[in-house]
């Protein structure tokens, strides 16, 4: 896997290990679930916590993956952070966007 440092058109996901354990999950298993679920959009895993968008359709692949993940209880009940990188290496806090536009998806 490549070295990950906020690459353009990528997603970084972190699960809260304590929440995951409390909810009956192993955090490593959740990362594998993410990988299996977003592979259909062409994202490739580049580190334990990060995925790179499909080179042929960067925006569409990344946005579809993020939308799908934010609708999954197993993600939202155990998430610590979701950062996205688009045209720059400046992170966008995707959880802040979810809180603003789709607060019903947030689990406390």
Under the banding of pLDDT at 50, 70 and 90, the label for residue 99 is very high
DSSP 105: G
- CA torsion angle for 6, 12, 17, 23 (degrees, to 10)? 170
Q: Please give the C-alpha separations between residue 38 and each of 24, 54, 63, 90, 96, in angstroms, as whole numbers.
A: 22, 10, 11, 22, 21
What's this model's pTM, rounded to 2 decimal places?
0.90
State residue 71's pLDDT score: 97
State residue 12's pLDDT score: 97
What average pLDDT does the segment 63-90 reach?
Answer: 96
């Amino acid at each position: 896997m490549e070295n990950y440092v906020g690459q353009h058109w990528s997603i970084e996901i972190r699960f809260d290990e304590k929440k995951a354990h409390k909810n009956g999950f192993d955090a490593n298993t959740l990362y594998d679930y993410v990988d299996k679920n977003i592979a259909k959009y062409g994202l490739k895993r580049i580190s334990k916590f990060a995925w790179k968008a499909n080179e042929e359709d960067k925006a569409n692949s990344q946005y579809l993956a993020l939308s799908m993940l934010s609708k999954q209880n197993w993600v939202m009940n155990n998430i610590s952070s979701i950062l996205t990188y688009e045209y720059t290496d400046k992170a966008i806090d995707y959880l802040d966007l979810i809180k603003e536009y789709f607060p019903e998806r947030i689990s406390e």
